[in-house]
Amino acid sequence: MLKNYRNTATERFLRYVQIDTQSDPNSKTQPSTAKQQNLSKILVEELLEIGIEDAHLDEFGYVYATIPSNSTKDIPKICFCSHVDTSPDCTGENVKPIIHKNYQGQDLILPDDNTQIIQFSAHEDLASQIGNDLITASGTTLLGADNKAGLAEIMDAASHLINNPEIKHGTIKILFTPDEEIGRGTAAVDLKKLGADFGYTIDGETLGSLEDETFSADAVKISITGVSQHPGFAKGRMESALKIASEIVARLPKNTLSPESTEGIEGFIHPTNIAGMVEMATVEFIIRDFTVEKLHAHELVLSEIMNNVLRNYPNSKATFEVHEQYRNMKEVLDKFPHVTEFALEAIKRSGIEPNRRSIRGGTDGSRLSFMGLPCPNIFAGEHAFHGKHEWVSVQDMEKAVETIVNLCAVWEEMSV
Ligand SMILES: [Zn+2]
Instruction: Report DSSP letters for 9-68, one per residue.
Output: HHHHHHHHHTS--B--TT--SSSS-TTHHHHHHHHHHHHHHHT-TT-EE-TTS-EEEEE-
Confidence of residue 119 (pLDDT cuts 50, 70, 90): very high
User: Residue 180 C-alpha to ligand 1 middle, in angstroms?
Assistant: 7
Contact criterion met (CB below 8 Å) for 251 and 305: yes
Q: What is the pLDDT of residues 185-206, one digit of tens each?
A: 999 999 999 999 999 999 999 9
Whether the pLDDT of residue 362 is over 90: the answer is no
CA dist list (Å): 258 to 250, 292, 309, 327: 12, 17, 19, 19
Residue in 173, 200, 177, 174 with CA at minimum distance from that of residue 60: 177
Give per-residue burial for 199-230: e unless 16+ CB within 10 Å, then b.
bbbbbbbbbbbbbbbbbbbbebebbbbbbbbe
Predicted pLDDT at 7: 75
Instruction: Count CB atoms within 10 A of the CB of residue 49.
Output: 10
Q: Return the bridge partners of 80, or none.
A: 174, 200
Distance 229 CA to ligand 1 centre (A): 50
Phi, psi of 42 (to 5 degrees): -65, -40
Ligand 1 centre from 73 Cα, in Å? Answer: 33
Catalytic residue of the set 153, 156, 180, 197: 180
Quote the CA–CA distance of 11 and 147 in Å, as a whole number. 15
Q: Which helix (H) or strand (E) holds 193?
A: helix 191-194
**Taking residues 267-289, what's their average pLDDT?**
96
Average pLDDT over residues 323-345: 95
- Residue 293 contacts by C-beta under 8 Å, 6 or more apart in sequence? none
Q: What is the mean pLDDT of residues 44-66?
A: 97
pLDDT value at residue 177: 98
In sequence order, the 6+-apart residues with CB closer than 8 A to the CB of 28 are none
pLDDT at res. 3: 43
Question: How far does residue 27's CA lie from ligand 1's centre (Å)?
Answer: 19
Q: 286 - beta bridge partners?
A: 219, 270
Ligand 1 midpoint to CA 133 (Å): 22
Distance 166 CA to ligand 1 centre (A): 32
43 CA to middle of ligand 1, Å?
17
Extract long-range pairs of 106-111: CB within 8 Å, 24+ residues apart. Answer: 108/134, 108/136, 108/391, 110/136, 110/137, 110/138, 110/139, 110/388, 111/138, 111/139
Of 177, 117, 172, the residue nearest 147 (C-alpha): 177
Determine if the peptide bond prior to 147 is cis (ω within 30°): yes
Would you list the DSSP string of 113-132?
A: -TT-EE-GGG-GGGGGGTTS
Q: Which of 85, 211, 212, 213 is catalytic?
A: 85
pLDDT of residue 5: 45
* Residues 119, 156: Cα–Cα separation, whole Å: 30
The answer to whether 82 and 147 are in contact (CB under 8 A) is yes
- Name the residue among 83, 82, 81, 79 with its Cα closest to residue 198: 79
- Point out the least confidently predicted range of 11-25, 34-48, 297-311, 356-370: 356-370
What distance in angstroms lies between residue 393's CA and the mean position of ligand 1's atoms?
16
Contacts of 317 (CB under 8 A, 6+ apart): 224, 225, 310
CA of 82 to the centre of ligand 1 (A): 8
Give yes or no for residue 6 having a pLDDT over 70: no
Q: Please state the rounded mean pLDDT for residues 302-311.
A: 98
User: Is 153 a catalytic site residue?
Assistant: no
- Estimate the crossing angle of helix 9-17 against helix 145-163, to 10 degrees: 140
Sort 312 into a burial class: Cβ within 10 Å, 0-12 / 13-18 / 19+.
Answer: exposed
Distance 87 CA to ligand 1 centre (A): 8
Question: How far is the centre of ligand 1, averaged over its atoms, from the C-alpha of 145 (Å)?
Answer: 8
Q: Reduce the DSSP state of residue 109 to 3 states and report it.
A: strand
Q: How far is the CA of 181 from the centre of ligand 1 (A)?
A: 7
Q: How far is the CA of 83 from the centre of ligand 1 (A)?
A: 7
Looking at 28-42, 188-202, 361-375, 385-399, which range is the least confident one?
361-375
Task: Specify whether 85 is catalytic.
Answer: yes
Question: How many C-beta atoms lie closer than 10 Å to residue 242's C-beta?
Answer: 17
Cα-atom radius of gyration of the chain, to the nearest Å? Answer: 24
Q: How far apart are CA 39 and CA 45, in angstroms?
A: 10
List pLDDT tens digits, range 93-109.
999 999 999 999 999 99
Query: How many CB atoms are located within 10 Å of the residue 272 CB?
Result: 10
pLDDT at 2 over 70: no
Q: What is the DSSP letter of 264?
A: T
Average pLDDT over residues 360-388: 93
